[in-house]
Structure 1
Amino acid sequence: MTVEEFEEFYAQTVARLTGQLYVMLGDLQEAQDVVQEAFAKGWIRRRQMDRDGHPEAWIRTVAWRMAVSRWRARRRTADAWRRGGTPSLHVEPPGPEHLLLVDALRELPAQQRRTLTLHYLCDLTVEQVAGETGLSAGTVKTHLSRGRAALAHHLRDSRIEEASDV
């Protein structure tokens, strides 16, 4: 991958990858940090990324692994969800539906949340999710099924609470 190709790849994917990691991690600052670090590693290994043929998946996987390593080193997984980073770009504040969905996602186990994000937000097939996470296709399907059911339950409970507050 040439310098120009890498720059073009970066420009086309950095926002998408940051958004995907934000959904997986629940912390915008952490997502920005690990994606930038993954791109720095990718720059050094750009020939390997080019050979592998899936540079976006490579960056996403490296960023995810860095985030997991940080969590283990700090032993502050719960704190990562309580911390709220504010976007540096001007964006409209999230609507109530967005907040309900984010709260519901935070209730899921990390692996279910990651699996749902990769499948629905990153638009990866079950096989691609399995390849990226190291899980079997059956386990991915189980996480997707249980994650959808848990989300439906959390969102239904949130709507019931919201209706009772009115």
Structure 2
Amino acid sequence: MDRIRRLVERAQGGEEEAFDELAQLHRPRLREAIRSWARFQLGPRLDVEDVLQDSLLRAVKAIGRFAWDGEDSFFRWLCGIAKRALAQAVRDTYRRAPEHSHGTRIKHLEAAVPGQSTVMRREERFHRLEDALRHLPAEQREILLLARIEGLTVNEIAARTGRTAGSVKYQLAVALRGLRAVFGETESCHLPDRRLDPGDDEHDAQ
């Protein structure tokens, strides 16, 4: 982590190479975070790479305003920027949508917005998942979010948390078994960012 902090300080001092290295180090995790959030956006599919690039461009312009706040604070800061970039991409997508007629716009909205029953099922599943995660031991919850939300590998999680790869595999397997009992499919482990996002949740788990 000292390496990240030194790179941040150099980037804030105007060294482009330092920010390039920061971007290279955080790009995979940030891409996975954006991909996870984008799954829950309504409407046309977004280009994750475009959002990622926009996020990094915003970050390099704002690097002077970043304040170090402990381990992984730089990634959490990037996540905040990426969420704003994603929201802007959604707005831009709708703004560019064909608007040849009132009927065209209505059809577009009908295709983009889920029905009431779909929304209710999604909300019900979210609350069940949120409750299940809350009752997981902190260690299992942290590992599950690192694996399923940030997309880290077992070895990356082990390096981040100071655990062995074997311990990470075991804790992840136990956590997934518990969630499968509730949801049946582990794909339900992907969470919307409104409450349990990579930055906030990882910070809570530390």
TM-score w.r.t. the length of structure 1 is: 0.43
Tell me which protein shows more helix as a share of its residues: 1
TM-score w.r.t. the length of structure 2 is: 0.35
